[in-house]
Structure 1
Amino acid sequence: MSEKVGLKSHEKVDFHKEIAIIGGGPAGALAGYLLAKKGFTNVTIYDTGQFKIEQKIEKCPGCAGIIQPKVVQFLEKHGLVIPEDIIQNRLSKESLIHLPGNTNLPIQNERGGAITVYRRPAPVKQPNDIPRTKSFDGWLLDEATKAGASYKRFLVKEIDLRRKKNINKKVTLTIDNGEVIEADFVIGAYGHNALKEDGINILYPEGTAHLDKPTASISAVREIFIGREGVAKLLQNKMHLFGNPTEKIWYAMVVPKDNHVTVSIMGRGNNSEKEMNDIMKDFLQSDSIRNLLSDVSKQVRCGCTSTYTTKSPENYIAQDEDGNLSMVNIGDAGPTRPMKNGIGAAMDSAEKLVGALSQYGFGRETSEIYKNYIDQEYILDNYWADFILKMTDQILARQALLKPTRFILTHHLWPFKKPINDIINLIISGEKPYWQIPLAQITEKLFH
């Protein structure tokens, strides 16, 4: 970030401000880690305690966690190397896309394959034959505390941003046991659901803008035990993607994880949890899965339903009566890239906010810098994403469009082969914003 005239880097920045981070997932934990590394001395992460630091997962392995090569490099840039005991599989650099009409399209990622990890555990007892391991979220939270951030296992029920009502002119947090905690600044990293009716209540100063909540839909996830030989033989250590596999499913994914696989589906429309579980049950009996994994109905060990963002909130910054920052939402609670590289996008938003805070403090300049970046890299890009995804859906759903597309893809007609591979890979991996993908192809043609 470039320095602004009249304000040098770190000048007037109070590194002793009390910063409260609500949520200990990838966005919140990384924000705590980076703030501590930048020299902020009073950083506390509040989380509901679905995992503890160093806790072994005792239940289900958890919902799918896919870390793309770019995210691995991003973490290593900040001195964070993912431990081997967290990594379940190092996937092949080749993914396989299953299109309607029994057409398979291999896609290469020149950076290498993604890795799969355990996230937070799902609420089902873990079978004895699935190895217990620490979660990615727990490891990252552990690294934040080692860097100097604090972690407290509290559920925050209310945030009062009305500083002028507080004798110390601070923001107050009320936790589930009724205790009130003070802070100078709040980072919301609480995911999709915290702003719902039974979630966090936020009180705002009169006349100030309120935080919006993201629009989210429900997905379904199942963990299926097929053994290490089955993973190697049936999946060949590749990520398998399904476009429009059934009328009720827009997108599905099968990912190897050690001796089992994770099956995830995203449905069409706003389905309930029960509806998504029924859709998943039908999908596991469909030809799409039977052709890949054979009969898996008796091998399903556990599963969960989770939410994913379909539209980012328009307002993710809250200011006090004087225009200074009171609270900023990051990760899935704020600006993100729907259905694309969620972990990477969450941590990117955390990095950009911390960079602005450490350079410009807690005033209007940080708000402007962060908002300009997010609006350009995320909000506008999501309009492109919506257009591309809808266009893809139309192609897959219409035989008149699908047949010529399938012919071009499967016959690798020159000069379409490499551009098509690169475009699809960039969409899958999330290595570039959607709007940059056509530009990247043009640039490569001009300079290579």
Structure 2
Amino acid sequence: MPPIGSPGPPPGDRRSAQTGTHVSQHVADITAPASARPPSLLRSRNFLLVWGGQTVSELGTRIAGVAVPLLAADTLHASVFQVSLLTVLAWLPYLVVSLPAGIIADRVNQRRLMILCDLGRAALMLSLPVVALVGQLTLGFLYAVVGLSGVLTVLFTVAYKSMLPALIPAAQLVDGNAKLTMSQDAAELVGPSIGGVLVGLVGAARTFLSNGLAFLVSALTLLLVRDAPRPPVRRERVPLRVEMTDGLRFVRREPILWKVLLCTTASNFWVMATSSIEVTFMLRELHASSVQVGLVFSVSAIGGLVVGALAGRLSAWLGTARVIWVAMAVPGPLYLLMPLAWSGWGVLLYGVGLAAFSANAVLFNVASTTYRQRVTPPAILGRVNAAYLWVCFGVIPLGALLGGALGTALGLRAALWICVLGTWSACLFVVFSPLRTMRDTPEPVVSS
């Protein structure tokens, strides 16, 4: 199951993961006559470049998500615990460097920062086949590549989430976020299969050539993007500790942002607990083959693709406020199909449950990210995005540890029941919030 609020997983993990304008204007923009609407994003050169680059990058990341554990387990003969450390190293940078990354993203040119991160990640990925070729590849070197890539991914993610509002009109943020999220689900649909085929054909180490190439393509598309003019921001000199917590203080003052953050954090915690045992559950409890496991994860991406294509219409129909809590609450009963799955074709019930969560994650991510981009002053958007990542991704390693502990102590099926019910319970934060009594989010009062 993908964590909520992510543009994609860092290398070493196969999961995808969970703004200064009038929010209430969004529905009017969608339902306005065609002549009054802004031009289609398909005519926006900047957006198409970013979208195309990120689609290729997401595909490369999903390929690496398969190649990294296979390289560790098969080529380097790592133990189960040593392979699990790759997941910890991939996500740990979100806890360690997210807040400083927010300050950096607010102070520098975000597009150039993203280009440097892409080039750095490409160099790291391409180093693996080179080192393997000369016979010097070790588990320690793989750990270093995954950890450093994770740091660059955090920097890229914070800048990525902060740059979009400067590239496209505010009325098109829902559509833009939906298209970018659809790319993640499309990559999740085909990336693991391509990765498995490439590993079989050329070996795990050489597979990283495709991942490095994907990051180079992303860097090239960003290089061709024309920077949107940004008004100069006068910065007062404040202590670094105060500046690092600016984003958290802003979120804490905004009741809706705070509730959404709590919801995202709780969901990611339980989602990662589920993810840590789901493959073992399918193999040992459902006796699924590797082909069936791959099919389950492919089925799961369909929900996100379908909802991503309809995100704008669903937001207009349900309302910009209501869609946030409905996306979290309504698909919940389908999660229960996962622990109810049985051997044989009954394993596809697990895929249906994952597809329901994928649909939830896409719609929730699009709606909540768009809201955050609209109500946050541009001068601190990087720090607010960083605060979100720090909190809601910081719990991911803890969730993974709990899932493993529950599976060991209670058995896999009982642990899965607890995890899926915990995932569904995250909706309570937004159901019992100001969003529940609103159709559309009101015009925010924003102060920088």
TM-score under structure 2 length normalisation = 0.23
Larger helix share, 1 or 2: 2
Considering only CA atoms, is the larger Rg found in Structure 1 or Structure 2?
Answer: 1
Question: RCO greater where, 1 or 2, for CA within 8 Å and sep 6 or more?
Answer: 2
TM-score under structure 1 length normalisation = 0.23
